[in-house]
Amino acid sequence: MGVHREEDGREIYYDAIHRQVLIVYVPGYNNDWKAYVVPVPGESHASEVYLWERDGCPLSESRARALWPTLAAHYDEKGLTWRD
């Protein structure tokens, strides 16, 4: 598990489910969030997390919540809603 802090202050969380596959949780700018499955080279997850923007495949809300329920609960507590 890791967290990448964007220049705008957003914290993008990620977790590897395989050396070459990340699950990335991205808070939006409108009090919302979305999760993506992202293929990566697998050389340095911390430097590959940004690939979600280009190569990420959106997850359904139910799958995102099942894969990282504590983070989803954290977003709920902060009042963030799922971005369709």
Whether pLDDT at 1 is above 90: no
Whether pLDDT at 84 is above 90: no
3-23, pLDDT tens digit by residue? 999 898 899 999 999 999 999
Mean pLDDT within 44-66: 96
Q: How many domains does the chain divide into?
A: 1
Domain of 25 in residue numbering reads as: 2-82
33/13 Cα distance (integer angstroms) = 11
Asked if 49 and 14 count as a contact pair (C-beta separation under 8 A), the reply is yes
24/83 Cα distance (integer angstroms) = 14
57-76, pLDDT tens digit by residue? 999 999 999 999 999 999 99
